[in-house]
Chains A and B, each alone.
Chain A
Amino acid sequence: MVDVPLGPGTIIPAEIEDVELYHPKSWVTKYVFSQDAKVIAVQYAIVALSVGVVALVLSWLMRLQLGFPGVFSFIDANAYYQFITMHGMMMVVYVLTALFLGGFGNYLIPLMIGARDMVFPYVNMLSFWIYFLAVLVLVASFFAPGGPTGAGWTLYPPQAILSGTPGGQDWGIILMLVSLMIFIIGFTMGGLNYVVTVLQARTRGMTLMRMPLTVWGIFTASFMALLAFPALFVGCVMMLFDRALGTSFFVPSIVEMGQPLDRSGGSPLLFQHLFWFFGHPEVYIVALPAFGIVSDLISTHARRNIFGYRMMVWALLAIGALSFVVWAHHMYVSGMNPSFGFFFATTTLIIAIPTAIKVYNWILTLWRGDIHLTVPMLFALAFIITFVNGGLTGLFLGNVVVDVPLSDTMFVVAHFHMVMGVAPILVIFGAIYHWYPKVTGRMLNDTLGKLHFWVTFLGAYAIFFPMHYLGLMGVPRRYYEIGEMSFVPPSAHTLNAFITIVALVVGATQMVFVFNLIWSLRHGRVAGGNPWRATTLEWQTPETPPPHGNWGKEQPVVYRWAYDYNVPGAEQDFIPQNQPATNTLPLMGLAHA
């Protein structure tokens, strides 16, 4: 197959001339109010990781209380519930969503599809600063009178806006709702950018089916986020009205601390529907980019094309679509009409099928590969294990009747930490080790990386795997202390202490990673343009780190898909996407195709 020359009248899609880009003139426009997606990506990443450190410290405090109840007198019940809430909300929204879409999305989308930048750079910059504002408002609630809200990250009314909950009648809940609304507005700006850039700014030859799965994952997740966040927005607006203006959307006639409230008729379940209509897709908004990234990590470091690329794309799309019709599996025991359970259990377990296909294809990619056990590869392997573990426990919770004894217990806490806490975080680490050389031009230190990997993976597994069994026993979640429960043996307290100690060790090890990030900036081995010998476009930039505009004079032209590793008859074990087609057909090995 030979390159077909361009006929007259062919249109070159969206090639922005380099000169047309607004190149920054001063330090402020280059590093602070930058419109370069790569700088914005780093800004997002730094802010999100900082929020992550705060959330991590909060998790230590919670674990200290759970492991050694009564020892740390400064953690009272009030504070504990505030920590839980802020930890959960920060991790899910302000760390993972922001990091995957704002961080990796901004850095990788334009580079991987061969664009010079996002299509709306100015809006992109606004998006980051609005996100930053949302973080400031969120953090401000720590200093507000009454402290942050302690309503749990699910913010269920009516308790979220009543005085029995920390921050319910103070500033906490208001700041939380306002911060979320700001975040959603900022995210919508960013999300529009990511989606439109993929739709419109792909370079010549970059068809949809030639995009790396990373781009597919981020693209699908951004689309889902654009359609899911409005549900949270609507919920926030209505709750804010209930809290501040005395409406009764979610508040029925109730008493507050013995006093009848002047509300009537509201439906607490209405909020839950809105929340989970956002909340379930949110799980996949975090998971799909991780799916995409991990596919590329595995393929690159196993030197083998991703197995079943088409299935991978279809499965992504199927998961994205299906995840909008499963939300009420979080509400099996919420008091909603119980016959909904049949429908939602069925849709939920159906989602398991495309998800399982993805897992099969990852491990089949390893089969007969040439596996380099680099640090990113190790993280990818660990992701598969934790994700499979968490996904399988999801089959318990999705299967409506099994959810009855398990919901709202530590089993749930263990499940979602495994599947949307640990697994995506491992991908984030792997991805940072993988792309750090592109961002900075230097490699991260390998020994420190391996230390970081083993402690984090084995530690996180040791934290969350045993926790399932506490839940199976019946220990509820969101308990400040277990206290006396007739069915909980004393050994459970030992287990809790063990989990806490491991959590502290794992947390402390993250400092090794932070040190590595900073130290390697100066002292890391110089990476060169393509240290992993990868095919995708971001590794083919003329300069590393890529300057504003990415490609120098000419945008790359794409001639092949993203996974030409170990093509029979090729000189090297990889063929970059922008290498023109040759007459040697790599198709001889395609017995199965």
Chain B
Amino acid sequence: MAVALILVLVAIGSVAFHLFSPWWWTPIASNWRYIDTTIIITFWITGVVFVAVVVFMAYCVFRFRHRPGQQAIYEPENRRLEGWLTVVTAVGVAAMLAPGLFVWNQFITVPEDATDVEIVGQQWQWSFRLPGPDGKLGTSDARAIGPDNPLGINRDDSNSKDDIVIEGGELHLPIGKPVKALLRSVDVIHDFFLPELRTKMDMVPGQISYVWFTPTRTGTFDILCAELCGVGHFQMRGTVVVQEQSDYQAWLQEQTARKFARLAPTE
């Protein structure tokens, strides 16, 4: 009796926690609404299954608990029932997988008009590089890294001349424009994680990975590192500021001016 009741309470408690607790995802700030939709579909399907299984168990425990004279039936199998259950499960799984794969296809297909932005991870800070007026990022190589070139940018590449480097600061992005983030690391594996933008991808030394998104809400968002990268892992924070186009242009002007101001004395 008590056992059956507690089992039911576990199911009810879980659902109640899901519905009423204050802990839920942060409001989305990018185009990946579909990811949230897929999660909701999955919550529904799995929630129903979970409750059904637990309640069924509780019922059995209550109804078929041992009492004097209670006898179990002898039924080794029931092919038809098992067949049906398999089919229903397969349908449920397909109902989750299909939207998932559909969205994944969008997730890895970068739109033509996305602007490149380079994100560089290093123990334990973030740096960014914007392509500048030519719209192209210069190449890079970890072997070129030195005190005057902390990101290992290939200075011989003419595309790199007008690149704008932002070290350890915050990255500004214009609202509503797709961004292709090119991810690179100069030491160990890091991970570019923006919870509010539902964006996450590892940055692996020796290769360039990518992820794309379109910011849909202005504001300031945390960048977290989501791949253990040493003792400072939890302190590796950065900021993305999503702005209206005009504010963004002003910021960009300022960065460009700063770059040339820095270059002026040597030239």
Contacts and interface: CB of A to CB of B under 8 A. Distances in A.
Direct contact between the two chains A and B in their complex (CB within 8 A):
yes
Interface string A374-407: 0000100100110011001101100111101101
A51 B214 CA distance: 49
Nearest to B80: A592
Contact of B49 (A311, A388, A592): A388
Contacts of B226: 407-409, 476
B64 interface: yes
A346 interface: yes
A373 interface: yes
Interface stretch (B68-76, B129-137, B159-167, B168-176): B68-76
Contacts of B123: 164, 257
Given A346-B97, A401-B103, A335 B183 contact: yes
Which of B57, B93, B108, B225 has the largest count of A CB atoms less than 10 A from its CB? B93
B42 to A, nearest CB: 5
Interface in B86-105: 86, 89-90, 93, 96-97, 100-101, 103-105
Contacts of A357: 82, 85-86, 89
A481 B77 contact: no
Contacts of A469: 17-18, 21, 23-24
Which of A333, A458, A481 has the largest count of B CB atoms less than 10 A from its CB? A333
Q: Interface on chain B toward A: helix, strand, loop, or mixed SS?
A: mixed
A255 B230 contact: no
A140 interface: no
Contacts of A368: 64, 72-73, 75
A318 to B, nearest CB: 11
Which of A359, A401, A461 has the largest count of B CB atoms less than 10 A from its CB? A401
Interface in B180-237: 183, 185-189, 191, 193, 195-196, 198-207, 209, 220-222, 224-235, 237
A472 interface: yes
Contacts of B227: 156, 408
Contacts of B66: 303, 370-373
Interface string A63-81: 0000000000000011001
Given A369-B72, A473-B23, A481 B234 contact: yes
Interface in A541-593: 563, 565-568, 573, 586, 589-590, 592-593
A305 B75 contact: yes
A456 to B, nearest CB: 13
Given A311-B82, A357-B86, A407 B200 contact: yes
A400 B235 CA distance: 28
Contacts of A458: 6, 10
B25 A335 contact: no
A254 interface: yes
B195 A405 contact: yes
Interface stretch (A6-14, A103-111, A337-345, A426-434): A337-345
Nearest to A405: B198
B1 to A, nearest CB: 10
B97 A339 contact: no
B193 A408 contact: yes
Contact of A342 (B70, B101, B224, B225): B101
Contacts of B97: 345-346, 349, 399
Interface stretch (A32-40, A92-100, A277-285, A482-490): A482-490
A200 interface: no
A231 interface: no
Nearest to B88: A356
Contact of A384 (B23, B53, B193): B53
A165 to B, nearest CB: 5
B64 A159 contact: no
B142 A392 contact: no
A404 B198 contact: yes
Contacts of B75: 305, 307, 368, 589-590, 592
Contacts of A568: 74
Contacts of A162: 187-188, 230
Nearest to B105: A342
A152 B228 contact: yes
A395 B209 CA distance: 25
Contact of B73 (A168, A264, A304, A360): A304
A378 B231 contact: no
A342 B261 CA distance: 48
Contacts of B21: 466, 469
Nearest to A168: B230
Which of B66, B103, B220 has the largest count of A CB atoms less than 10 A from its CB? B66
Nearest to A481: B234
Which of A350, A360, A483 has the largest count of B CB atoms less than 10 A from its CB? A360
B74 A353 contact: no
A378 B3 contact: yes
B248 interface: no
Contact of B74 (A168, A311, A589): A589
Interface of B: 3, 6-7, 10, 14, 17-18, 21-26, 32, 34-35, 38-39, 42, 45-46, 49-50, 53-54, 56-57, 60-61, 64-66, 70-79, 81-82, 85-86, 89-90, 93, 96-97, 100-101, 103-105, 107-108, 122-124, 141-143, 145, 183, 185-189, 191, 193, 195-196, 198-207, 209, 220-222, 224-235, 237
Given A260-B142, A395-B45, 6 more contacts: A304-B73, A349-B93, A392-B46, A400-B100, A407-B200, A568-B74
The 9 closest A-B pairs by CB, nearest first: A252-B206, A474-B195, A164-B230, A335-B209, A159-B188, A366-B60, A392-B46, A304-B72, A469-B23
11 contacts: A77-B234, A158-B188, A353-B90, A360-B85, A370-B70, A384-B53, A399-B97, A401-B100, A408-B191, A566-B73, A590-B74
